[in-house]
Amino acid sequence: MYNEFNAFVREQFKTPEAFIPLHEPRFFGKEREYVMDAIDSTFVSSVGEYVNRFEEMMAEIAGTKYAVATVNGTSALHIAMILAGVQSGDEVITQPVSFVATCNAITYCNATPHFVDVDLETLGMSPRALEARLNEIAELREGVCINKETGNKISCIVPMHTFGFPCRIDEIVNIATKWNIPVVEDAAESLGSSFKDQHTGSFGLLGTFSFNGNKTVTCGGGGAIVTDNEELAKRAKYITTTAKRPHKWEYYHTETGYNYRMPNLNAAMACAQLEMLPTFLENKRELAIRYQNFFSELSAIEFLTESETSLSNYWLMAVQLKDRASRDQFLEKTNSESIMTRPIWELMNELEMFNNAPCGAIQNSRFLVDRVVNIPSSVRIK
Ligand SMILES: *Cc1c(COP(=O)(O)O)cnc(C)c1O
């Protein structure tokens, strides 16, 4: 089976020998043209036409009124949580299945992650687990959600759309509303993914995206915050640009802001990449279908697919093995042949920084961490 799989992957990527990575960027749009144009304009830093254009394109794609560019996805999350009202000493509910950036951003707010389980079908936050956990440990005191066990305020819920598969975000938002908790969607991995025909990132009070080198669309490094709330959008722009009061020559700052703005040079590349998004999505979907056909012959390995009510961008494609031993064998037999595969992240609650954080029952997360492996998912060059 492994030989067949390795040969199949090599055929898809037309790479008979060399190393095949999990996800590499592709630049066959107007990247060079726009980046050169930004250089020629001398506007390479945090002000420039491409930044504005990027924000317009992102709002259009996400279906939100506003988008604010940031220097990366982690800073987008950090700012979004501040804007959602996360303060020092608070708890932020998130999932143990995520890239570390989600929890790092919570820590930057001096808050603590509080873990609830994911769904086996979506790999994202489980509305049932969320609801059960809130019923178990939380109470509303004068409209504020408090963890009865720790006495801390629960000030935000941050679900994540794992590998581009949308989680059941509508139910999560409904539960959050009942408990008067704002939702920040970590949509870093789900640019181009939608749930019930609505783009991921646009369900919560705020949503965030990443344009890191390994994401579906990249500009080297970059991020975006999206929202329908005008005041929050304005504040996002303000505090990511050092909270400087607008003035022709004066340098007056009204609070401790951040230097989190995306440079125009990166925005130029981002605009060109966003133009390619439909092409990338089509190309990746075609590969997902081929993988699905390939694995449909094998009972021991399941290719993970989008749920019925959602469209995935198939950022990182994934298979689920029978148990940890077969997972390890799969990793060994592919990586030893220079076909890169990688297990899903170690659970966040297992990391030293977060292993004392509050945590609900997380049996699905534990099940997945033993079995899920990502396989090569780049856009293929035709
Ligand atoms: C990539 C990613 C981020 C943000 O990453 P940056 O490298 O800072 O752009 C945040 N959350 C998740 C789940 C991610 O995969």
- Do 169 and 315 sit in the same domain of this protein? no
Domain boundary among 241, 275, 309: 275
The pTM of this model reads: 0.97
- Taking residues 344-358, what's their average pLDDT? 98
Among residues 191, 216, 218, the alpha carbon closest in space to that of 202 is found at: 191
- Do 116 and 146 sit in the same domain of this protein? yes
- Cα dihedral 58→163→86→245 (10° resolution): -30
- Taking residues 203-220, what's their average pLDDT? 98
- Do 158 and 40 sit in the same domain of this protein? yes
Q: How far is the CA of 97 from the centre of ligand 1 (A)?
A: 13
Residue 382 confidence (pLDDT) above 90: no
Residue 46 has what pLDDT?
Answer: 84
User: Into how many domains does the chain fold?
Assistant: 2
Domain boundary among 275, 291, 312: 275
What are 114's strand-pairing partners?
93
Among protein residues, the one with the nearest Cα to ligand 1's atom 4 is 73
Domain boundary among 255, 275, 295: 275
- Do 190 and 123 sit in the same domain of this protein? yes
Among protein residues, the one with the nearest Cα to ligand 1's atom 5 is 73
Q: How far is the CA of 101 from the centre of ligand 1 (A)?
A: 5
Give the position, in ligand 1's atom list, of the atom nearest the Cα of 160: 13
Among residues 278, 214, 293, the alpha carbon closest in space to that of 12 is found at: 293
pLDDT in tens, 73-132: 999 999 999 999 999 999 999 999 999 999 999 999 999 999 999 999 999 999 999 999
- Sorted by sequence, the CB contacts under 8 Å of residue 119 that are 6+ apart come out as 125, 126, 128, 167, 168, 364
Among protein residues, the one with the nearest Cα to ligand 1's atom 13 is 99
**Pocket-testing residue among 74, 342, 347, ligand 1, by greatest number of atoms within 8 A of Cβ:** 74
Q: How far is the CA of 164 from the centre of ligand 1 (A)?
A: 12
Among protein residues, the one with the nearest Cα to ligand 1's atom 9 is 73
Among protein residues, the one with the nearest Cα to ligand 1's atom 2 is 188
**Residue 197 three-state SS:** coil
- Pocket, ligand 1, Cβ cutoff 6 A: 72-74, 77, 98-99, 101-102, 160, 186, 188-189, 210, 212, 223
Give the position, in ligand 1's atom list, of the atom nearest the Cα of 223: 9
Q: How far is the CA of 132 from the centre of ligand 1 (A)?
A: 28
pLDDT category of residue 299 using cuts at 50, 70 and 90: confident
- Do 14 and 55 sit in the same domain of this protein? no
Residue written as token pair 């999206």: 226
Q: How far is the CA of 116 from the centre of ligand 1 (A)?
A: 19
Average pLDDT over the chain reads 97
Task: Name the residue type at position 15.
Answer: T
Q: How far is the CA of 210 from the centre of ligand 1 (A)?
A: 6
Give the position, in ligand 1's atom list, of the atom nearest the Cα of 99: 13
Residue 53 has what pLDDT?
Answer: 98
Residue 47 has what pLDDT?
Answer: 87
Residue 274 has what pLDDT?
Answer: 98
- Do 192 and 151 sit in the same domain of this protein? yes
Q: How far is the CA of 169 from the centre of ligand 1 (A)?
A: 19
115/196 Cα distance (integer angstroms): 26
- Sorted by sequence, the CB contacts under 8 Å of residue 259 that are 6+ apart come out as 46, 71, 240, 241, 242
pLDDT in tens, 149-199: 999 999 999 999 999 999 999 999 999 999 999 999 999 999 999 999 999
CATH of the domain at 7: 3.90.1150.10
Q: Which domain holds residue 161?
A: 31-275
pLDDT in tens, 321-349: 999 999 999 999 999 999 999 999 999 99
pLDDT in tens, 256-291: 999 999 999 999 999 999 999 999 999 999 999 999
CB 228, CB 66: distance < 8 Å = yes
Residue 37 confidence (pLDDT) above 90: yes
CB 51, CB 69: distance < 8 Å = yes
